[in-house]
Structure 1
Amino acid sequence: MENTCLFCRIVAGEIPATVVHRTETTLAFRDIDPKAPTHVLVIPVAHHADVLSLAADPSAAADVLAAAAAVAEQEGLTGGFRLIFNTGPHGGQEVFHVHAHVVGGAPLGPMLAAR
Structure 2
Amino acid sequence: MSENCIFCKIAAGKVPSKMVYQDDLVAAFQDANPLTPVHILVVPKKHYENILDDIPSEVLEAMVHAVSVIVKQTGIDKTGFRLITNTGDDAGQTVHHFHIHIMGGRKLDPSAGEKRD
* 1:58 equivalenced with 2:67 (yes/no): no
Quote how far apart the aligned CAs of 1:34 are. 0.4
Distance 1:53 1:65 in 2: 17
Unaligned runs of 5+ in 2: none
Give the corresponding residue for 2:86: 86
Which amino acid in structure 2 is aligned with residue 72 of structure 1?
A: V
Give the corresponding residue for 1:40: 40
Percent of residue pairs identical:
37
Give the corresponding residue for 2:98: 98
TM-score (norm 2): 0.90
Unaligned runs of 5+ in 1: none
Describe the SS at the equivalent of 1:95: coil
Quote how far apart the aligned CAs of 1:72 are. 0.8
Quote how far apart the aligned CAs of 1:103 are. 0.3
Give the corresponding residue for 1:23: 23
Describe the SS at the equivalent of 2:40: strand
Which amino acid in structure 2 is aligned with residue 60 of structure 1?
A: V
Quote how far apart the aligned CAs of 1:111 are. 2.3
Distance 1:111 1:71 in 2: 23
Equivalent residue pairs, number: 112
Give the corresponding residue for 2:72: 73
Q: Which runs of 4+ in 1 moved over 2 A?
A: none
Paired residues of 2:11 and 2:26 also in contact (CA < 8 A): no
Quote how far apart the aligned CAs of 1:57 are. 1.5
Which amino acid in structure 1 is aligned with residue 24 of structure 2?
A: E
Distance 1:91 1:26 in 2: 23
Paired residues of 2:43 and 2:98 also in contact (CA < 8 A): yes
Give the corresponding residue for 1:12: 12
TM-score (norm 1): 0.92
